[in-house]
Structure 1
Amino acid sequence: MEDVRSRGDSADLLLPLWRALVVFRVITWGFACFGVWSRWDGIYRPSGAIIQLAIMGAWTVVASIGYSRHWGRRNTRLALADLLVTIGCMYATLLAQPLLDIRGGASVLTSVWAAGPVIALGISRGRDGGLLGAAAISLALLSLRGVDNAAKILSNVQLLLVSGLVVGYAATTMRRANLRLREAIAAESAAAERLRLGRSIHDGVLQVLAQVQRRGTAIGGEAAELATLAAEQEVALRTLMASRPLTGDRGRIDLCMLLIPFATTRVDVVVPAEQVLLPTATATELVAVVKEALSNVDKHAGPAARSWVVVEDLGDEVLLSVRDDGTGTTPDRLEQAGSDGHLGVSQSIRGRITDLGGSVSVRTAPGEGTEWEMRVSTS
């Protein structure tokens, strides 16, 4: 399990930000120590300052270890704890300086170190997390300085807000890029594996199945049944070799991958080389339409009828057609079937497409087969 996590972390584009945060924490703690040393004579209770720096140093070690490990980066618990401890350390300045002195101009000893949880929340939760951290630190600073000194700390508040916003936005962008990178790597690996398997299958299994099909058809009799089975398995293997990732950006689904499994020795499925991404609900309804259309072919088009399912990506629309070379019928008979209570055409096909806001047309004639043509929006 640890090896898997290590490999995942090595591909995490946010990892440099977490490492930079650790460096920031350590360096700014050093700045806080230097600030205490440089103002030593002006500190009311030096022992309180030492205690505060010790607490800050101990938490810097804990937070740095956490941000350097997978468990500290996988959720916001450590970042929220960092925020609470940092605010507590800001109030610990009261151990070294009276509140009146702080409101009179004495420094809050945490200094820039207090910006650490703002960056952590920005990395962990994006823009909103960064702004939340900046608001919390700003309110704590305002409560220490007092409302009368709000103008004096305005620049600090602005820097905190800008830091949270910028780091949060950068983290969100990198997180999205990381997700797309992982999807691209997975797709590339899957494509490479399909190519490797495809070569092996083509050089062995497919050639044997093709030979069985030819010889069985030539011999006839019981061998013809074996030829039919071989042809079906050849189609199934070719369909498997043509498979590709099912989902795409924003959770949309590839209509082509849903339709390819319909291919048999009597059904040809023709799809574009690229994905045709649709909302899941739309793609599911179109699959149901194709099932109903092919079911009608089996029931009414004749035992020797062949079917073709064709998908065309028109940009804003998808054109889906289902055609067969069966016995065909007349438009009047289709309408009469609906009136007689046979609802496959009126509800399962036309009804579904209408509900999707699309259009449907049918062309048929006795002896010329039937062709359904459906258009739906890709949005």
Structure 2
Amino acid sequence: MDLDRRGGDSADLLLPLWRALIVFRVITWGFACFGVWTRWTGIHNPSGAVLQLAIMGVWTVVASIGYSRHWGRRNTRLAVADLVVTVGCMYATLLAQPLLDIRAGASVLTSVWAAGPVIALAISRGRDGGLIGAATISLALLSLRGVDNTAKILSNVQLLLVAGLVVGYAATTMRRANVRLREAIAAESATAERLRLSRSIHDGVLQVLAQVQRRGNAIGGEAVELASLAAEQEVALRSLMAARPVTEQRGQADLCGALLPLATTRTDVVVPAAPVLLPVGVVDELVAAVKEALSNVGKHAGPGARCWVVVEDLGADVVVSVRDDGAGTTQERLEAAHAAGHLGVSQSIQGRIADLGGSVTVRTAPGEGTEWEMTVSRA
């Protein structure tokens, strides 16, 4: 598990932001200490200021250790705790300065250090987290300064809001880029593995199957059936080698990659060069409908019939055609089959596409084969 975490952290694009936050925490704590030292004679209770700085220092160490570990970055618990402790440290200024002095112009001793949880929440939760952190710190500052001093703290509030927005937006953008990077790495690894396996299969299994096919046809008799089986397995393996990895990206999958494995010695699958991305559920239903259409070809088109599956990406619509050159039929026979309780056409094909909001067109005639045209909208 530790190795996995280190591997995941090395590819985490947000890691530099977390490291910058740690540096920011340490530096701003140093600024707070310097501010107390420069205003030492004006502080009402110096021992209270020292206690406050000590609490801030301890929490800076704890938060820095947490933000440098995987457990501190994987959820918002530490960032929320940071926000609570920071607000508490802001109110701890009352240990050093009376509330009347603070509202009269005395400094809140946390100074810029209080912006730490705003940045932490922006990194972990994006824009919304940053705004929540900025609003919380601003309200705490307003309660200490008083409503009469709203104009004086307006610039601080603006800086907090801008920090939350900018860092939150940057973190969200980097998080999305991180997801795409991981998907790209996974796809590249899968492609490399497929290429390695393809070379091994081509150098061994495919050559053996081709030799069995040639020798079986040459020998004749019962060996022809063995040659036919070898030819089917050769086509299946070649289709598997040429097929694209069916990877899901944000709820979408490539229809072409799902249909290519359906190719056989009697079925050709023709797809665009570019992926045709559709919701995963739509891809599953389309593949199921195509399989049912191919099943009908095997049952009714005749033993020598060939079949073609063609995918067309029309932008707003995607069209999948299943055509064969078999015996064909008539619309009357299709309606009669439905009336007799044979629901393969009406339920497995037309029903599936209708549930997706699409349409199905059937073109058939005796001796002219059958063509199914299934259209679904990306909308």
TM-score, with normalisation over the residues of structure 1?
A: 0.96
Kept in 2: contact 1:215–1:227 (CA 8 A):
yes
Aligned to 1:125: 125
Superposition map of 1:1-379 within 5 A: 1-379=1-379
Kept in 1: contact 2:191–2:245 (CA 8 A):
no
Secondary structure at the aligned position of 1:27 is classed as helix
Q: How many residues align?
A: 379
AA partner of residue 30 (structure 1): G
Secondary structure at the aligned position of 1:75 is classed as coil
Kept in 2: contact 1:262–1:269 (CA 8 A):
yes
AA partner of residue 364 (structure 1): T
Secondary structure at the aligned position of 2:218 is classed as helix
Kept in 2: contact 1:248–1:277 (CA 8 A):
no
Kept in 1: contact 2:118–2:131 (CA 8 A):
yes
CA distance in 2, matches of 1:347, 1:197: 39
Deviation at 1:369, TM superposition (A): 1.2
AA partner of residue 358 (structure 1): G
Deviation at 1:248, TM superposition (A): 4.6
**Sequence identity, in percent?**
82
CA distance in 1, matches of 2:157, 2:355: 53
AA partner of residue 188 (structure 2): E
Deviation at 1:326, TM superposition (A): 1.4
Kept in 2: contact 1:190–1:244 (CA 8 A):
no
CA distance in 2, matches of 1:193, 1:11: 21
Kept in 2: contact 1:319–1:376 (CA 8 A):
yes
Secondary structure at the aligned position of 1:44 is classed as coil
CA distance in 2, matches of 1:217, 1:128: 70
- The CA deviation string for residues 254-279 of structure 1, in whole angstroms up to 9 with x for no partner, is 11222223222222222222211111
Deviation at 1:287, TM superposition (A): 1.6
CA distance in 1, matches of 2:69, 2:152: 38
Kept in 1: contact 2:243–2:261 (CA 8 A):
no
CA distance in 2, matches of 1:294, 1:240: 18
- The CA deviation string for residues 173-207 of structure 1, in whole angstroms up to 9 with x for no partner, is 00001111111121122212222222222122211
Secondary structure at the aligned position of 1:114 is classed as helix
Name which of structure 1's ranges 27-36 and 330-339 shifts more when overlaid on structure 2.
330-339
CA distance in 2, matches of 1:243, 1:44: 76
AA partner of residue 318 (structure 1): V
Deviation at 1:148, TM superposition (A): 1.9
- Unpaired runs of at least 5, structure 2: none
CA distance in 1, matches of 2:141, 2:12: 34
Kept in 2: contact 1:239–1:260 (CA 8 A):
yes
Kept in 1: contact 2:248–2:280 (CA 8 A):
no
CA distance in 1, matches of 2:243, 2:120: 41
TM-score, with normalisation over the residues of structure 2?
A: 0.96
Deviation at 1:309, TM superposition (A): 1.3
AA partner of residue 67 (structure 1): Y
Deviation at 1:302, TM superposition (A): 1.7
Kept in 2: contact 1:310–1:320 (CA 8 A):
yes
Secondary structure at the aligned position of 2:265 is classed as coil
Secondary structure at the aligned position of 1:250 is classed as coil
CA distance in 2, matches of 1:19, 1:365: 71
Deviation at 1:160, TM superposition (A): 0.7
Name which of structure 1's ranges 296-305 and 41-50 shifts more when overlaid on structure 2.
296-305
Kept in 2: contact 1:277–1:378 (CA 8 A):
no
CA distance in 2, matches of 1:90, 1:30: 16
Deviation at 1:354, TM superposition (A): 2.8
AA partner of residue 342 (structure 2): H
AA partner of residue 78 (structure 1): L
CA distance in 2, matches of 1:206, 1:344: 35
CA RMSD, 1 decimal: 1.6
Kept in 1: contact 2:244–2:256 (CA 8 A):
no
Secondary structure at the aligned position of 2:322 is classed as strand
- Unpaired runs of at least 5, structure 1: none
Deviation at 1:284, TM superposition (A): 2.0
Name which of structure 1's ranges 68-77 and 108-117 shifts more when overlaid on structure 2.
68-77
CA distance in 1, matches of 2:209, 2:249: 38
